Chain A
């Protein structure tokens, strides 16, 4: 059974600092990995999807890397802004999606 872990559970940084969010998974036989953003009381918004054959994906200030062999993915958010405050979840697709519990980010102005 796939286990997805996100550490830390919460993170607080000053505005402008770069964010590094970690995701680890136990079974490396995956199709893809997705990163989502969730605002309080809202649904999830897909940020980036990395196919198993890819090493990274970039969108604006966001960059996600994938190391299948070690079972790790990292989401980098450059030059954080207060609007980046949210919970970020990763999900691993290995026939079905398994979600981590998320990292709640607070960016202080």
Chain B
């Protein structure tokens, strides 16, 4: 069966420090991968998605970047964190197929930038 791992679960970082959040998927190959951010009381905002190694699409301009160095690995990074980067970050994957595939989420990372 497929599983998705996301770490760390919580992170407290000072403003201006770098960030690296990692997500890996097991039990499937060539998945679509996604990074979302969830602000309190609001819907999820798609940050990045990837359809293959080295293929990254950004949905919103921001202080963050994403990379996909391996088929089942997706990394969210920042060189210098801002206060506004605080939030709940979720990694997700879906089967690369016709439209209508389900989305499966990791357990999330609560990031606090102080």
Contact = CB atoms under 8 A, between A and B. Distances in A.
Interface string A86-100: 000101010011111
Contacts, number: 53
Q: Which size bracket describes the interface of A in this complex? A: 20 to 34
B43 A46 contact: no
- Name the residue among A46, A89, A91, A97 with the largest chain B CB count within 10 angstroms: A97
Contact of A42 (B43, B46, B99, B107): B107
Given A41-B110, A43-B105, A93 B99 contact: yes
Contact of B90 (A4, A43, A93): A43
12 contacts: A4-B43, A31-B100, A42-B107, A43-B6, A43-B90, A44-B92, A46-B103, A91-B44, A96-B49, A96-B59, A97-B46, A101-B41
Interface string A57-97: 00000000000000000000000000000000101010011
B105 A45 contact: yes
B106 interface: yes
Given A99-B43, A100-B43, 14 more contacts: A31-B100, A34-B102, A41-B108, A42-B107, A43-B90, A43-B105, A43-B106, A44-B105, A49-B100, A93-B100, A96-B46, A99-B44, A101-B41, A101-B42
Interface residues of B, number: 21
Interface of A: 4, 9, 31-32, 34, 36, 41-46, 49, 51-52, 89, 91, 93, 96-102
B103 A34 contact: yes
Grouping DSSP codes into helix (H, G, I), strand (E, B) and loop, the A interface class, with mixed when no group exceeds half, is strand
Nearest to A44: B105
Interface string B29-50: 0000000000001111010010
Contacts of A96: 46, 49, 59
Nearest to B43: A99
Contacts of B42: 101
